[in-house]
């Protein structure tokens, strides 16, 4: 019996050894690209990219990754497809599987991602849902380890609301065995799914509401926009999140060599001040660059081309 396609849907669904081999492949391909010796393991392969929501990094980095690896990207938006006129996600998966070798999708509805994966006969990659953003956190792990070595045993602090990027950090904390301190306003705290995940896995994740306690002694401080795609804007949301801003005062409570991370796009003056995001501890543009390299490792893994 042939095995099913290798989907990349969430970090906690894959064994640590596979995640590590993706990251190792990413680093190796990054080094080759920088040395002007590009590798092209995806010659003749096509990736369909479906965006139901806006994107700068995910869109451009997947497109460039496919081209640099020798493959071809096809950029699609839900609105341009029959999906926008009610064709089911399952039929879309069946049809695209006859044309392309893999599908990357950004769609808010996580169940729709799962339905696409269940009905596709080619690998499906999660390019962000309301629930998670695993490609981002693979790039973030790569970035942390490039700057500071293995993340195992280190402490990452999250300050802000509960969102998709936090969920993938939590999945990574469980797999890569690092500590995650989370500070959110009580009304924007992680939901039952995260609390159940922590209970079931015994991951070293502490949920709280005090940003100073979360950041104290951390090796890495992470935040994200206060209004994710699909969230309702509003003054109240901004008011409750104000104390969670990463500014110099908050950053000074972390270890002196702590890194600052943000997946971008940033809302300067809201979740982070210019001083921090443009300061010496910030690695936000390395993270953005590593989306390209980390996704090469993910793509190569999906295509069974990790050497």
Interacting residues toward ligand CP by CB under 6 A: 55-58, 128, 136, 263-264
> For residues 121 and 4, what is the distance between their CA atoms, to the nearest angstrom?
7
237 part of the interface to ligand NVA, by CB under 6 A? no
What x/- string results for residues 263 through 302 when contact with ligand NVA is judged by CB under 6 A?
x---------------------------------------
Residue whose C-beta lies closest to ligand NVA? 228
CB-based contact 207:195 (threshold 8 Å): yes
Six token digits for residue 113: 């991602």
Q: Exposed/middle/buried for 197, CB within 10 Å: 0-12, 13-18, 19+?
A: middle
> For residues 80 and 283, what is the distance between their CA atoms, to the nearest angstrom?
36
CB-based contact 162:194 (threshold 8 Å): yes
* Unique residue bearing structure tokens 């808010």: 108
Is the Cβ of residue 128 or residue 156 nearer to ligand CP in the bound state?
128
Active-site annotation holds for 238: no
Active-site annotation holds for 136: yes
Nearest of 291, 298, 300, 287 to residue 69 by alpha carbon: 300
Is the Cβ of residue 4 or residue 54 nearer to ligand NVA in the bound state?
54
In the list 228, 238, 243, 286, the residue contacting ligand NVA (rule: CB under 6 A) is 228
Q: Shortest distance, CB of residue 183 to ligand NVA, whole angstroms? A: 16
223 part of the interface to ligand NVA, by CB under 6 A? no
Active-site annotation holds for 263: yes
The entry of ligand CP, ligand NVA, none that residue 56 binds, CB within 5 to 8 Å by partner kind = ligand CP
Is the Cβ of residue 68 or residue 132 nearer to ligand NVA in the bound state?
132
Q: Catalytic residue among 68, 136, 245, 281, which?
A: 136
Distance from the first to the final alpha carbon of the chain: 24
> For residues 196 and 71, what is the distance between their CA atoms, to the nearest angstrom?
40
The entry of ligand NVA, ligand CP, none that residue 33 binds, CB within 5 to 8 Å by partner kind = none
Site for ligand NVA in 135-194 (CB under 6 A): 163-165
Active-site annotation holds for 40: no
224 part of the interface to ligand NVA, by CB under 6 A? yes
The neighbour count for residue 202, using CB atoms within 10 Å, is 8
> For residues 21 and 58, what is the distance between their CA atoms, to the nearest angstrom?
21
Piece of the chain touching ligand NVA by CB under 6 A; list 148-156, 194-202, 225-233, 246-254: 225-233
* Unique residue bearing structure tokens 């169940």: 111
* Unique residue bearing structure tokens 């959110």: 184
Active-site annotation holds for 220: no
Q: Shortest distance, CB of residue 55 to ligand CP, whole angstroms? A: 3
Q: Shortest distance, CB of residue 136 to ligand CP, whole angstroms? A: 5
The neighbour count for residue 108, using CB atoms within 10 Å, is 16
- Rg of the Cα atoms in the chain: 19
Tell me the sheet residues that pair with 184. none
Q: Catalytic residue among 110, 131, 171, 291, which?
A: 291
The entry of ligand NVA, ligand CP, none that residue 224 binds, CB within 5 to 8 Å by partner kind = ligand NVA
Give contact residues for ligand NVA (rule: CB under 6 A): 163-165, 224-225, 228-229, 263
Active site members = 106, 133, 136, 224, 263, 291
């Amino acid at each position: 019996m042939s095995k099913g396609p290798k989907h990349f849907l969430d970090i906690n669904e894959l064994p640590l050894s596979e995640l590590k081999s993706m990251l190792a492949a990413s680093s190796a391909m990054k080094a080759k690209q920088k040395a002007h010796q590009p590798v092209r393991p995806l010659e003749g392969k096509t990736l369909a990219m479906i965006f139901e929501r806006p994107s700068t990094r995910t869109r451009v980095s997947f497109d460039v990754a496919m081209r640099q690896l020798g493959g071809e990207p096809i950029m699609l938006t839900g609105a341009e497809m029959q999906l926008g006129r009610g064709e089911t996600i399952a039929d879309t998966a069946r049809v695209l599987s006859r044309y392309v070798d893999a599908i990357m999708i950004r769609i808010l509805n996580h169940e729709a991602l799962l339905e696409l994966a269940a009905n596709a006969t080619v690998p499906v990659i999660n390019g962000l849902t309301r629930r998670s953003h695993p490609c981002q956190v693979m790039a973030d792990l790569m970035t942390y380890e490039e700057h500071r070595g293995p993340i195992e045993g280190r402490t990452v602090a999250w300050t802000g609301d509960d969102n998709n990027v936090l969920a993938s950090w939590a999945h990574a904390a469980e797999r890569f065995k690092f500590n995650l301190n989370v500070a959110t306003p009580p009304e924007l705290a992680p939901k039952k799914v995260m609390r159940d995940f922590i209970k079931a896995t015994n991951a070293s994740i502490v949920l709280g509401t005090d940003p100073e306690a979360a950041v104290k002694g951390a090796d890495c401080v992470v935040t994200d926009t206060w209004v994710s795609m699909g969230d309702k804007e509003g003054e109240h949301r901004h008011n409750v999140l104000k104390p969670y801003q990463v500014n110099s005062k908050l950053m000074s409570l972390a270890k002196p060599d702590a890194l600052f991370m943000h997946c971008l796009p940033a809302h300067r003056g809201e979740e982070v001040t210019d001083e921090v995001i443009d300061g010496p501890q910030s690695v936000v543009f390395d993270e953005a660059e590593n989306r390209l390299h980390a996704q090469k490792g993910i793509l190569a893994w999906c295509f069974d081309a990790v050497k």
